[in-house]
Amino acid sequence: MRASFLVMGGMLAIEKRGKVALPGGCAIGARPVDLHLKGFEALGAKINIEHGYVEATTENGLIGGNIVLDFPSVGATENIIMAAVKAKGKTILENAAKEPEIEDLCNFLIKMGAKITGVGTSRLEIDGVEKLTACEYSIIADRIVAGTYIIASILFDGSIKVSGIIPEHLSSFLLKLEEMGAKFKIEGDKLEVLSKLSDLKPVKVTTMPHPGFPTDLQSPMMTLMCLVNGASEIKETIFENRFMHVPELNRMGAKIEIDSSTAKITGVENFSSAEVMASDLRAGASLILAALKANGESLVNRVYHVDRGYENFEEKFKALGANIERIKTEA
């Protein structure tokens, strides 16, 4: 898994060395780890890449430094933060990612004794400490999971209420849905959709780093757009290969054309059943949503991708009355 590379920063901070396999993960683009490694080097680590592994070493521990990310990478920001919290001296990280998950990581580390200022901004100052202590901490709700269920509720005319959300983490997503004509009732951490699928009109979406429209909601959003009357558009600016679900949605009766980094979607009345394949985590979720809405029985293969980002996905829909089963197919 790509997320496994995030152990490197902590290993460097605690053990002064680390050896981690180059990451794999979803096939949605190149997603190199060069920004992670440049950050580690700026903190004094020596990097060696050999036989599919990255080895980082430091003789006397990391030393604070100034780092400017070429792109506000979430993973690189997280890895550098975890490395810098125990580095000697001050680290200044510019053009840091500002996703809510970064803020949550910082708050967790601060509770453990780390000294981090600028939390929630693109400029983080980290004063290294000698020791971190154990703590109890509750992580934030997953905004992408929440967004997926909100889209599901719109697809089924507001029949699903979503609880446990943090509305401010979904602001750009909800604003785009409102632009489409969707209406919501939000009370605390509960959201109820008040409009029907037929109320929606087409829009244009461009994925951006936070606080822009999240790339991880692009695939489920496309499923919704497929059933909105008129011409919608999605421009993907984060990953160069994140339209792998398009041929599969087209197999289910969607009308989507790709022009470079832009998907042009012409609304259809409904999806038709088909056998399709999930190429990655969010693509899998989008295909399951389409299959739930389609006439007839559909088969979505490689749903193991979905398990990495959604807990008990099919069980939650089954509890809502969906006719959905996970089956084992022959290799």
Catalytically active residues, by annotation: 26
- Sheet of strand 255-259, all strands in order from the earlier edge strand to the far edge: 204-206, 231-235, 262-266, 255-259
> Locate tokens 């006439």: which residue?
295
Sequence-distant (≥ 6) Cβ neighbours of residue 201 within 8 angstroms:
180, 181, 228, 229, 230
Residue 263: strand, helix, or coil: strand
Burial status of residue 290 (CB atoms within 10 A of its CB: 0-12, 13-18, 19 or more)? buried
State the Cα–Cα distance between residues 51 and 318, nearest whole angstrom. 45
* Amino acid letter for position 219: S
* Amino acid letter for position 16: K
Q: Please tell me what DSSP assigns to residue 241.
A: T
State the Cα–Cα distance between residues 242 and 5, nearest whole angstrom. 21
